[in-house]
Structure 1
Amino acid sequence: MKNKPESYWREKLTPEQFNILREAGTERPFTGEYCDTEATGVYRCAACNAPIFESGAKFHSGCGWPSFSAPHDPDGLDEVEDLSFGRRRTEIRCANCDSHLGHVFNDGPPPTGLRYCINSVAMTFEEGDAEE
């Protein structure tokens, strides 16, 4: 899926999804659909449906975006250095389709100490058993 042209994604995604997933945009804090979701299930990439996070790894960070302490599968995410806005951050992209999901920070809870800060628009939620 990484080789799909941007025209494919522009047709498949809503304008808001395209901005976030393909142009590395960010939704406004505390506005995302999944910020306060507590149901059991799997969060999937909104572009390609790959599983990216399980509900058991979700926690309330207070940052305004859904936060997770660990990915569904570490190989399912790619990390990219992001130097935008005069800061050094680690961008998280879907390893399957190369869509921008959010960023990861080193201020999360034990045991990982990580906070995957993810745009709600970049995900869909499949309620039910969290195992793939």
Structure 2
Amino acid sequence: MKIQGHLFNILAVFILGVAIVYGVWSREPVGTTALFLAFALALMIGFYLVYTARRVDTGAQDRKEADVADDAGELGFFSPHSWAPLALGAGSMCAFLGPVFGWWFLYFTAPLIAVGLWLWVFEYYRGENRTQ
């Protein structure tokens, strides 16, 4: 994870250089702003990966003498199925179409987004964790 973090930090420095050169050369505010935002995004991801790599055990990808089989096994818990991302995606799509067709369209998308968020947050509050 540390290697990926350093790669994102190098990418952030490159994008910062490109943003400065592009901003000075073109004097175009929209592209310059987009490049500075891309710099910030790459820097945030790089910082997160480097910071997390310090707090967790060294993974097989961080050791030079590691084999492919060292990284085998269970990687974590992944939800087998969930309808919440579909509801959130449909609600978000309709919400972004709101300014196109009219702001009144958001009244119909707000319940869909709320239901999607409710499903996602309370997805695993069933069985032994459920209150009666």
The interval holding the TM-score normalised by the smaller chain is under 0.3
The TM-score with structure 2 as length reference comes to 0.15
Name the one with the larger strand percent: 1
Bigger RCO of structures 1 and 2 (CA < 8 A, at least 6 apart): 1
The TM-score with structure 1 as length reference comes to 0.15
Name which one, 1 or 2, has greater alpha-carbon Rg. Answer: 2
